[in-house]
Amino acid sequence: MYKLYCRIYQRVFKAFAYLLPWREPEVIRGENSLCKLPGLIKSRDIDKVLIVTDKMIASLGLTDKLLMGLTDVGVDYVVYDETVPNPTIENIEDALHLYKSNNCKGIVAFGGGSPLDCAKGVGARVTRPNKSISQMKGVFKVLKSIPPLFAVPTTAGTGSETTIAAVITDGRTHEKYAISDTSLIPHYAVLDPMLTVNLPPHITSTTGIDALTHAVEAYIGKSNTKRTKKSSRDAVSLIFANIFEAYSNGKNLAARKNMQEASFLAGLAFTRAYVGYVHAIAHTLGGFYSVPHGLANAIILPYVLEFYGESAHKPLAELADLVGLSSPDDNLEKKAVKFIEAIKRLNKSMDIPTKVSGIIESDIPVMVKRALDESNPLYPVPKIMSRDDMTKIYHVIKE
């Protein structure tokens, strides 16, 4: 009965989604496109912005051109650079204080998924001052326009520059959860490959597989549209063609640009079609042990795809055909297995481990409950997991 309830919920939710005010960010693409952002901000009659980033981004000087450009066009700014991996409610509240006390009128999110999610949280709190972040947990709890949000991703993975979601960690309970609302989609996104050329190989690899996870989970789920399926397929093609080159030769601008585009497309796909159990499990590992999200997804993805079995054979076989893995005499199952094995080979070629270290046995029941609470009944997965099914996954990935 519970599985039937989940499926009915997902069908109703998919029908409801067609009525929502979906939009996409206006995109500025290409080498040195960051230089166009100050003028764009100025053209929106914004005289002061909050820049949300992290210590690493600031120390590398990646924001320097933006700051100089803002000064040149007469836009004041204040910088919040305390965002941590797996951004916390405290990060959001501290950044919100800066926004309000400096009378800012817009937000620039600059960095990987953590600063982008933190900035979305700030936007939600600005527009809903009487709601806490925990009260906006889940779907469509904001429902009001946020201040102009300009997203500048420095990794090619999260797709947060085009999604409805902000993933936040409650530092007190170690719970990591999403707030999802169409109002959180950034208004503008800057895809400048120059910002990713110095990414360390291990971040290039794990964020790239994060994008692949988005595309695959969206594609094999049951809430696709024609548009999301195309976005997923295009993203998968770009990732398989470019991720290892971007990992091994980070100065290759073409590969970097293609990975940025893949991340963006995968974000477009899963913001409508949703993700699945890979993400739900990864969120618990981030909340409990601060495992980077892309790394967690990369490790978990093959195991969850294997769990789905026959329920995912057809879409995985289509992806195998797409990237040239299958032979004419292969059946659906064989093609699907080849696709999963290709992901394993990609992970191995980029030194991504096969297990998660540090998982504490006594934490598993709590993590199982939280992962199931996140995913059921919302995520339109090919096959619904029971508590026992998910517990087995945690034991399989545990080092």
Question: Which residues in the chain show pLDDT less than 70?
Answer: none
Q: How many CA atoms lie within 13 A of 331 on its CB side?
A: 2
> Looking at residue 19, what is its pLDDT?
87
Tens of pLDDT, residue by residue over 237-290, are 999 999 999 999 999 999 999 999 999 999 999 999 999 999 999 999 999 999
- Alpha helices of 175-331 — where are they, by DSSP H? 201-220, 226-248, 253-273, 277-289, 293-308, 313-322
Cα–Cα distance for residue pair 77/47, rounded to 1 Å: 8
> Looking at residue 171, what is its pLDDT?
87
Tens of pLDDT, residue by residue over 116-143, are 999 999 999 999 999 999 999 999 999 9
Are 257 and 193 spatial neighbours (Cβ–Cβ below 8 Å)? yes
Helix, strand and coil content of the chain, in percent to the nearest 5, comes to: 60, 10, 30
| Range 395-398 contact pairs with CB under 8 angstroms and sequence separation of 24 or more | 395/364, 396/303, 397/281, 397/299, 397/300, 397/303, 397/355, 397/356, 397/359, 398/355, 398/356, 398/359, 398/361, 398/364
